[in-house]
Structure 1
Amino acid sequence: MRVRPIFWLLLVFSCAAVLTLAALWPVQAPAVLQVHLAEQPPLRVGTAQLQLQLTDPQGIPIEKAQVTSSAWMPDMVMGPTPIYIRQEGPGSYSVQVFFSMPGAWAIKIEARAAGFMPQQQILHLEVA
């Protein structure tokens, strides 16, 4: 049985299309989100500093990430507390949060960077 040339052409075109698509499709790698507390617990009412490190799976700092954060008290009916984020270096961010009262607090940190899957981490803290 003889295969017609049109089928060979179709096979070559299909293989080329798959290889081109695989080469051009962006790969989303998971980022590693590490959060370090600059102040040792117990945290007190007032301003606290958190140090945030963003790295890829090989430990290389992720640059130009968009980091957002919010803080709230899970046991209270209140809006989120504003948080200020400053980039200090490659993959290193300083997060400043004001705790207005003692109790249980939650801080949500979200990070987005080109080529990485968005990451989210929620910290549960006790403020004295």
Structure 2
Amino acid sequence: MAMRLPARLANVLLSVLLACACSPGSEQGTSPDAGRDTASGLVRLEAGFEGTLQLRGNMLRIHVTDTAGTPVEATRVSVSLWMPGHGHGAPAPAVTREARGDYLATVDFTMPGTWTVTIQVDTEGRSDTLELSVEAP
């Protein structure tokens, strides 16, 4: 026997679910640390994961610009993974260039937990880094 909710209660529940699903900050997989000037101030890095984080196959998008917002062609972009709570890393993902200033890495975590993802950008003979803290499921 199916149980029916009164229409009014069903509408309230649906409204609450939609509000939670659409509220700012509810999107998983993006990094709150993304989009800032690096320590040297040479470039601005924006980075974030697409969609919900998984253990394997996470797409990390990296955008490199100068301080005026013009895309920068880096001589090298690399990503390293470190799990501070366990004192170990994971294999470094390959980074591919998609367009001037745009790079993509497929990140695989070796286990669930908190990871530090360090993005290093080499340009004009200097290195800049951006660290993201992410929670792998």
Larger Rg: 1
- CA–CA separation in structure 2 for the residues paired with 1:125 and 1:48: 12
Q: TM-score, normalised by structure 2?
A: 0.64
- CA–CA separation in structure 2 for the residues paired with 1:99 and 1:79: 9
- CA–CA separation in structure 1 for the residues paired with 2:86 and 2:55: 16
C-alpha contact (below 8 Å) 2:90/2:109 kept by paired residues: no
State the number of aligned residues: 98
Distance verdict in 2 for CA 1:45–1:29, change over 3 Å: closer
- CA–CA separation in structure 2 for the residues paired with 1:29 and 1:78: 29
C-alpha contact (below 8 Å) 1:83/1:98 kept by paired residues: yes
Q: Which runs of 5+ in 2 are unaligned?
A: 1-39
- CA–CA separation in structure 2 for the residues paired with 1:93 and 1:67: 8
Q: In structure 2, what is the equivalent of residue 31 of structure 1?
A: 43
Q: Which runs of 5+ in 1 are unaligned?
A: 1-27
* Equivalent position amino acid for 1:124 in 2: S
- Are positions 1:112 and 2:112 aligned together? no
Tell me the percent identity: 28
- Are positions 1:125 and 2:134 aligned together? yes
CA displacement, residues 8-32 of structure 1 (integer Å, 9 cap, x when unaligned): xxxxxxxxxxxxxxxxxxxx86211
- CA–CA separation in structure 1 for the residues paired with 2:54 and 2:89: 20
- CA–CA separation in structure 2 for the residues paired with 1:69 and 1:122: 10
Q: TM-score, normalised by structure 1?
A: 0.69
How far residue 91 of structure 1 moved from its aligned partner, in angstroms, is: 0.3
Residue in structure 1 matching 2:99, options 84, 89, 106: 89
RMSD: 1.9
